[in-house]
Amino acid sequence: MQIKGSVALVTGANRGLGKAFVQALLAAGAAKVYAAARDPTTLEAQANVVPIKLDVTRPEDIAAATEQAHDLTLLINNAGISGEAHDSISLETLRHEFETNAVAPLAISLAFAPILAANGGGAIVNMHSALSWINLPTTVTYSASKAAAWSLTNGLRLRLASQGTLVVGVHVAFVDTDMTRAIEGVPKANPHDVVQRALDGVANDQPEVLADETSQQLKQNLSNGIYLRPIS
Ligand SMILES: NC(=O)c1ccc[n+]([C@@H]2O[C@H](COP(=O)([O-])OP(=O)(O)OC[C@H]3O[C@@H](n4cnc5c(N)ncnc54)[C@H](OP(=O)(O)O)[C@@H]3O)[C@@H](O)[C@H]2O)c1
Q: Whose CA is nearest to atom 34 of ligand 1?
A: 12
Does 1 reside within a domain?
Answer: no
Query: What pLDDT was estimated at residue 84?
Result: 72
Mean pLDDT of the 173-190 span:
96
Give the helix/strand (H/E) hosting 191: helix 191-203
Residue 49 lies in a domain: yes
What percentage of residues in the chain have a pLDDT greater than 70?
99
Rounded distance from Cα 84 to ligand 1 centre (Å): 13
By mean pLDDT, which of 3-12, 83-92, 157-166 is the weakest?
A: 83-92
* Protein residue closest via CA to atom 1 of ligand 1: 175
The count of domains in the chain is 1
Tell me, yes or no, whether 147 lies in a domain: yes
Give the closest residue (by CA) to ligand 1 atom 32.
55
35 in a domain, yes or no? yes
Establish if 12 belongs to a structural domain.
Answer: yes
Mean pLDDT (the chain, rounded): 97
Buried b (16+ CB within 10 A) or exposed e, 49-60: bebbbbbbbeee
Give domain status of residue 22, yes or no.
Answer: yes
The predicted pLDDT at position 232 comes to 67
The answer to whether position 2 is within a domain reads no
pLDDT in tens, 89-138: 999 999 999 999 999 999 999 999 999 999 999 999 999 999 999 999 99
Is 212 inside a domain boundary? yes
How many angstroms is it from 6 CA to the middle of ligand 1? 23
Express as a percent the part of the chain with pLDDT over 90: 96
Beta strands in the chain (DSSP E): 7-10, 32-37, 49-53, 74-77, 123-127, 166-171, 208-210
Res. 88: pLDDT tops 90: no
Q: What is the CATH number of the domain that holds 196?
A: 3.40.50.720
What separation in Å is there between the alpha carbon of 78 and the centre of ligand 1? Answer: 6
Instruction: Determine the structural domain holding residue 166 and report its residue range.
Output: 7-228
Q: What residues does ligand 1 touch, defined as CB less than 6 Å away?
A: 11-12, 14-18, 37-39, 54-57, 78-81, 100, 127, 129, 172, 174-175, 177-180
> Measured in angstroms, how far is the CA atom of residue 100 from the centroid of ligand 1?
10
